[in-house]
Structure 1
């Protein structure tokens, strides 16, 4: 794998910057109704392409962004993980996000990726506060955040997600 694409490696995953050729795999994940059931809607191909372009721009300008979660065993992209600078309940935060294809739920892969990214954010990127947010009924996503040491800070109405009641979790060093 091209060295400049690699960000992190865990026991089962490679976490790397996206490349243009990843669009089809990413669009299939982001366009899957089960995977995206806690989002306003599954992504269209155009929305997946915009997501990819935002990732390129964030990595170029901020030095971090969202990255491809690649299963070492198969070399296939199974999810999306990483950071965005996002407005969460009126505050701009370092937002750790993770989207794992529903085909891989229940195998602790999301936790593995999120834990590696959290550590990377603090140690390599110099972040002192990292947040995560999810709809209050997205129990698995909340469990991932709590397993990696994040604590529920508050609930708020998320204007970006259908005015859904949303948890904000955070960890600071």
Structure 2
């Protein structure tokens, strides 16, 4: 078993591994779950995503973590702290993406709150952001529920996204 990075009431957040391709493909191959991304991802692109995440762990000490059900161990999605460039500055983003069967259960909010607490308490960050697509209402609601405020919109990844921010 992989040691959890974070545990909440219902969730375990653990580091992603090269064995998570099948788990992530459940999200990445679903056009509805990937609606606000440029496209779905194939297995090769999923492996690239995992390598990008492992590089973030090595470089920044953080990245997206795999979210699992604390009781069943079942895969629910990914949530974590990811470096993102905004206006030429590297900011730490709380990012989240879950399998459709897990939507509507508050998992994204629970995981994002845990990441926010981890970022402020363990990493001593002063500020964190989220970058949801302006049309992704469920993701903007998660950002708002964890105490973030929309401060502006920017063009990133070829589309308009909100910059949500929370500081201590």
> Which consecutive residues of structure 1, in runs of 5 or more, have no partner in the other structure?
none
2:2 is aligned to: 2
Q: CA deviation at 1:157?
A: 2.1
**Pairwise CA distance, 1:87:** 1.1
Answer yes or no: is the 8 Å Cα contact 1:27–1:49 preserved in 2.
no
Give the equivalent residue in structure 2 for 1:120.
118
Q: Residue 47 of structure 1 corresponds to which residue in structure 2? A: 45
| Residue deviations 1:76-113 (CA, integer Å, cap 9, x gap) | 22111111111124432111100011111111110000
Alignment partner of 2:146 out of 144, 148, 162: 148
Q: 1:172: which partner in 2?
A: 167
Query: 1:99 maps to what in 2?
Result: 97
How far apart in 2 are the matches of 1:111 and 1:166? 19
C-alpha separation between the residues in 1 aligned to 2:93 and 2:35? 20
| Number of aligned positions between the proteins | 168
* Structure-to-structure mapping, 1:65-144, within 5 angstroms: 65-144=63-142
Shift of 1:142: 0.5
CA distance in 2 between counterparts of 1:54 and 1:157 reads 22
Tell me which residue corresponds to 1:61. 59
Tell me how far apart the structure 2 counterparts of residues 65 and 166 of structure 1 sit (CA, whole Å).
20
Cα deviation for residue 61 of structure 1 reads 2.4
Q: After the TM superposition, which segments of 4 or more aligned residues of structure 1 sit over 3 Å from their partners? A: none
Q: 1:31 is matched with which residue?
A: 29
- In the alignment, the residues of structure 1 paired with residue 142 and residue 30 of structure 2 have an alpha-carbon distance, to the nearest angstrom, of 21
* TM-score in terms of structure 1 length: 0.92
Question: Are the counterparts in 1 of residues 2 and 14 from structure 2 also a CA contact under 8 Å?
Answer: no
SS at match of 2:131: strand
How far off is 1:17 after superposition? 0.3
* Aligned residues of 2:77 and 2:97 also touching (Cα < 8 A): yes
Task: Return the alpha-carbon distance in structure 1 between the equivalents of residues 113 and 164 of structure 2.
Answer: 14
